[in-house]
Amino acid sequence: MATLMTERKRSALTRGRLPKSTPWVVAASSIVVAAALMSLIGFNVFGWAVLSAVLFAAGNVVSSAVVEGRRKATDKLATSLVLGAFLVALLPLVSVIWTVLVNGVPGLLAPGFLGTSMKGVTGAIDNASVANHTPVLGGVYHAFLGSVLITLWATLISVPVGLLTSIYLVEYSDGNKFSKVITFLVDVMTGIPSIVAGLFAAAFFGLVMGPGTKTGFVAAVALSVLMIPVVVRSSEEMLKIVPNELREAAYALGVRKWRTILKVVIPTAISGIASGVTLAIARVIGETAPLLVTAGFATQINSNVFAGWMASLPTFIYTQIMTPTSPSNPDPSNQRAWAAALLLILLVMLLNLGARLVARIFAPKTGR
């Protein structure tokens, strides 16, 4: 005869549990205690925040160890460490974005900033705008155009070279010595300091076209030296993960190898390749050093990459900060530099979003 067992009020399967409000109480008290401690040794907000966080973590862990036992306490300790590391990693990023936004938005919204160049904007004009409190003149159009054109040409050079290299490595080399040498050199190229790439391009065009050749195209070559290894590496990985079964399926239908690569392997991998290329573009569009020695500085619009000096966003920021247009009133130049920095960050952010979009658009479709 089975009798119904009544449920025990306090299950023997559980251990002591802290009430839900505990973290809040601990947080509040640690903030107060931290404030008190800080006022003893000299108050500052940063120290207060750090001390509060440490006290909060310690309080949580200790209270949990006392009431809930060792396993829960260890869990809380690990959670605190992971969360703390996350916050520390995030802090610089948020700080950078915030600073650039605060300093950059006024300049970016200034009339004509996106549509005009620095042609004719002299120290006298900057002095006048500061003295009369009129909007800052001069813009970033020439630098924006230069950045876009130089990066475009760098992409046009790097993508075919990089993609064909990775196709050779994955599809044709069979892991021979030559391919190992290529892979090694690509790895070495990945580590080249960007200024060296710039010096290479400057020296190369100096030899071929005559000394002192500085054009947008020279800069594009310098950037492609930086970009090619990234493209090779990312496309190589993408081609490698295309299942061999798909290649065999195509061969078994009597399709030639080059057609299989062109119509089966690359379309299957294209989403990864395209997002890899976009990320490589985002990587080089912010390069400053190689552009300084290859494209020079320009204050006017130049849409021809094969002749004349060319401005770009990074070099624009550099010159505006280092050599303000009006040495006695650097504020207008600072404003322009911050606005250009914001524009550059927005550009990189758009490219990253674009990479995700591209990956999604090209991804093999599933569904019924």
30 burial (CB, 10 Å; 0-12 / 13-18 / 19+) is buried
- Can residue 174 be called a binding residue for another protein (CB under 8 A)? yes
By CB under 8 A, name the one of 15, 263, 356, 360 that touches another protein. 263
Amino acid at 113: F
Q: Does 187 bind another protein (CB under 8 A)?
A: no
In this structure, are residues 298 and 142 in contact, taking their beta carbons and an 8 Å threshold? yes
Alpha carbons 340 and 317: distance in angstroms, whole number: 6
Q: Which of 249, 349, 353, 361 binds another protein (CB under 8 A)?
A: 249
Helices (H), the chain: 22-41, 45-67, 70-109, 123-132, 141-167, 177-190, 194-209, 216-240, 244-252, 257-260, 266-285, 289-294, 313-322, 331-362
Q: Under a CB-based contact definition with an 8 Å cutoff, are residues 297 and 322 in contact?
A: no
Q: Contacting another protein (CB under 8 A), which of 119, 180, 259, 360?
A: 259
Of residues 19 and 254, the one with the C-beta less far from another protein: 254
User: Least distance from C-beta 243 to another protein, angstroms?
Assistant: 7
Does 20 interact with another protein (rule: CB under 8 A)?
A: no
Shortest Cβ distance from residue 242 to another protein (Å)?
A: 9
Q: How far apart are CA 354 and CA 365, in angstroms?
A: 19
Select from 42, 45, 245, 328 the one that contacts another protein (CB under 8 A). 245
Residue 260 makes contact with another protein by CB under 8 A: yes
- Does residue 177 belong to the site contacting another protein (CB under 8 A)? no
Cα separation of 179 and 113, whole Å? 49
**309-368 residues near another protein, rule: CB under 8 A:** 364-368
Size of the site for another protein (CB under 8 A): 25
Q: Is 366 helix (H, G, I), strand (E, B) or coil?
A: coil
Show the binding pattern over residues 121-140: x = contacts another protein (CB under 8 A), - = does not: --------------------
Decide whether 31 or 246 has the Cβ nearer to another protein. 246
Residue numbers at the binding site for another protein (CB under 8 A)? 174, 243, 245-256, 259-260, 263-264, 267-268, 364-368
